[in-house]
Structure 1
Amino acid sequence: MTTQSSELPDRINIVIPLFNDWQALSLLLERIRAVVDPALVSRLAFLIVDDCSATNYETLPQGIGQSLSVLRLYRNVGHQKAIALGLSHLASLPDQYPAIVMDSDGEDRPEDIPTLVQTGAAHPGRVVFAHRSKRHEGLVFRVFYEVYKTVFRILTGKVITFGNFSLIPARQLRKLAHVSEIWNNYPGGVIRSRLPYTAVPLERGRRLAGESKMNFVSLVLHGLSAVSVLMDTTAVRLALFCVIMAGAASLGIGVVLALKFFTNTSVPGWTSYLVSSFLIVILQAFLISLLLVFIVLSYRTQPQFIPARQFGDFVERVEEVY
């Protein structure tokens, strides 16, 4: 898919969070130069968010796009927070340009950058996500990923079929940097922000070098961080479930007592056992609902971390490579 040069913005920032994946980054940059139209490549400006890597690059490809900078962080904050810090740094600059978020390992394919740009031009003002139409991970990972999406939909009422690979319009960048929820989960933060967004189906690529750091534990933590972004909605849904369980338990008590006093089907001891069990369910539902109420109230009263205001506390320096 090609984009007319006249339709392209003067500059498109590429935010790439990275932790020790310098070899994959070098291959990614070379692949961008090889497969993306030169008219588009000439407008790209790369911002590598170094998440306090234990290693450093020896050499990086030169002359790809307008510039390449490395945002050095004081400490390791994790993938999602690194994205938030990179976007906040760009939002703090005087001139605002569209920004593309992509991973350093090559699983976000460079071939799809023009598609994001063209979709963004067709939907001005909307954040454009890459919806994964095809994945290459193992069967176990894909199964658990589907479980994660199902649980997310049940708990939040939202459907999430996309990850970090996305394009943010220039006029939405500063707004998004003031959304506290992107600190925990970038896609969930966009959903929570109520900024308009769309998704385009794109195939997920294969890692260019090294091994993936995403495992079962990482996937669970990622899922929990996504759900936590919509904590108030999740708490309300869980509270409603507790109310339904308490109602079902109360109905069960009524049925048990009716069988006890109005029929001849009673067995010695079973009535008191069932009534006690149903009462425990009601008590647990009440306590869980009460706990959820306090969690939501505490969440709403605590001061929120605003990445646009506090990102500077995490930034050691900005290193200009070229």
Structure 2
Amino acid sequence: MNRPSPIVILAPCFNEQENIINFLNSLKEVCHVLNGLFEIVIVNDGSTDKTSSLLRSFSLKSEKIKLTIIELDFNIGHQQAIFQGLTYAKSTKANQFIVLDSDGQDDVNLIPKMIKLKNYDIIHVVRKKRKESYFFRFSYAIYKIIFKIITGQSIAFGNYCLINRTVLNRATNVGFVHFPAFLSKFPLSKYYIEVDRHKRSHGKSKMSMADLLNHAIKSFIEYAEQLLVVCLWIFITLLLILVIFAIFILYEKLFTNNAISGWASTVIIGLFNGVLITLSSFVIGTQLLKNSYNQNLKNKISIVKNSEDVTTNN
């Protein structure tokens, strides 16, 4: 008799010694009352505290839940750690994959509801209200507006989601630098669950304002092709303005007696060169950066044993 396909629950972690055991116990309680098999995959992203030793000593003691730990030699970042976990998950027989954070902010009690929802490619968990500082909320609102204008997509969700194997295959084959932005690009069947996110169980967030800004920039990298089109339209628009301005100056010079300011031609040439160089550098840099990130991600695949044993990549 064939065993049913497991459901993979993936969570990256970095220096979560104060939260990781509570997180695993919470997952164990949720999975224990559900039907089916589960595999919990923890990606230890180069933690320098006691996270690794705590993970190695932890035992689920359950026949229906398996724990797999991916030990990374060094910290490669939250999004790359998710990619590592998804790359491993691709080798399993699972058809449903849940991604969430391990700091206690993502409510594991939503997992039964997510699993029950059928016929969706992606199930997103969306925050109802953010509890950060006013400055952070204001900055995040501006970011969402800019993201919407440039990409035409809304991104009000984070990493917490359930995806099917079709989405998993696309993510691991193409690669990504920003998981939520990557998921927002595709016209797939989606469902959104709105909840108030929990506070961290213990400790402080590892994300500084600089890290958050870097995270936001990466979301635009996922839309490199769309940015290319936007830049092209901006360039064409500015070019037309410059051409019209140049024609006006020539007309004034050839067909009227009006004096032409000496700086007019200098301004035209300077603006044209500046716009061309700036936009060209931005477009080329965006494309190269995306290709570089994707290549780096694909080169950092860890070797993991399919058991509760822990294997470190070398």
Under TM normalisation by the shorter chain, which class is it? 0.7 to 0.9
What's the counterpart of residue 155 of structure 1?
A: 150
Structure 1 pair 259–109 and aligned structure 2 pair: CA distance change class (3 A): farther
1:225 Cα shift? 1.3
Corresponding residue to 1:287 among 266, 277, 281: 277
**Letter of the structure 2 residue corresponding to residue 80 of structure 1:** Q
What's the counterpart of residue 229 of structure 1?
A: 222
What's the counterpart of residue 320 of structure 1?
A: 308
Aligned mates of 2:208, 2:292 — CA distance in 1: 32
What's the counterpart of residue 6 of structure 1?
A: none
Aligned mates of 1:191, 1:136 — CA distance in 2: 24
1:96 aligns with 2:94: yes
What's the counterpart of residue 34 of structure 2?
A: 40
**Letter of the structure 1 residue corresponding to residue 20 of structure 2:** L
What's the counterpart of residue 109 of structure 2?
A: 111
Unaligned runs of 5+ residues in structure 2 are none
Aligned mates of 2:127, 2:88 — CA distance in 1: 28
Is the 8 Å Cα contact of residues 71 and 319 (structure 1) preserved in structure 2?
no
What's the counterpart of residue 71 of structure 1?
A: 70
1:168 aligns with 2:168: no
1:210 Cα shift? 0.7
Structure 1 pair 172–300 and aligned structure 2 pair: CA distance change class (3 A): closer
Is the 8 Å Cα contact of residues 231 and 283 (structure 2) preserved in structure 1?
no
Q: Residue by residue, what CA displacement relative to the aligned partner does 1:6-65 show, whole Å, maximum 9, x if unpaired?
A: xxx75321101001113212222334456x474228743211100011123445474476
What's the counterpart of residue 20 of structure 1?
A: 15
1:212 Cα shift? 0.5
Structure 1 pair 41–54 and aligned structure 2 pair: CA distance change class (3 A): farther
1:135 Cα shift? 1.5
Which stretch of structure 1 is more off in the superposition, 107-116 or 224-233?
Answer: 107-116
Q: What value does the CA root-mean-square deviation take over the aligned residues?
A: 3.5
Provide the secondary structure at the position in 1 that maps to 2:136.
Answer: helix
**Letter of the structure 1 residue corresponding to residue 41 of structure 2:** L
Aligned mates of 1:304, 1:137 — CA distance in 2: 31
Provide the secondary structure at the position in 2 that maps to 1:76.
Answer: coil
Structure 1 pair 210–240 and aligned structure 2 pair: CA distance change class (3 A): same
Unaligned runs of 5+ residues in structure 1 are 1-8
1:82 aligns with 2:81: yes
What's the counterpart of residue 56 of structure 1?
A: 50
**TM-score, normalised via structure 1 length:** 0.78
Q: Residue by residue, what CA displacement relative to the aligned partner does 1:215-256 show, whole Å, maximum 9, x if unpaired?
A: 211111111111112212112202211221232344445556
Is the 8 Å Cα contact of residues 12 and 98 (structure 1) preserved in structure 2?
yes
Structure 1 pair 172–298 and aligned structure 2 pair: CA distance change class (3 A): closer
**TM-score, normalised via structure 2 length:** 0.80
What's the counterpart of residue 209 of structure 1?
A: 202
**Letter of the structure 2 residue corresponding to residue 85 of structure 1:** Q
**Letter of the structure 1 residue corresponding to residue 33 of structure 2:** A
1:305 aligns with 2:256: no
Is the 8 Å Cα contact of residues 164 and 186 (structure 1) preserved in structure 2?
yes
What's the counterpart of residue 4 of structure 1?
A: none
1:156 Cα shift? 2.5
Corresponding residue to 1:186 among 175, 179, 185: 179
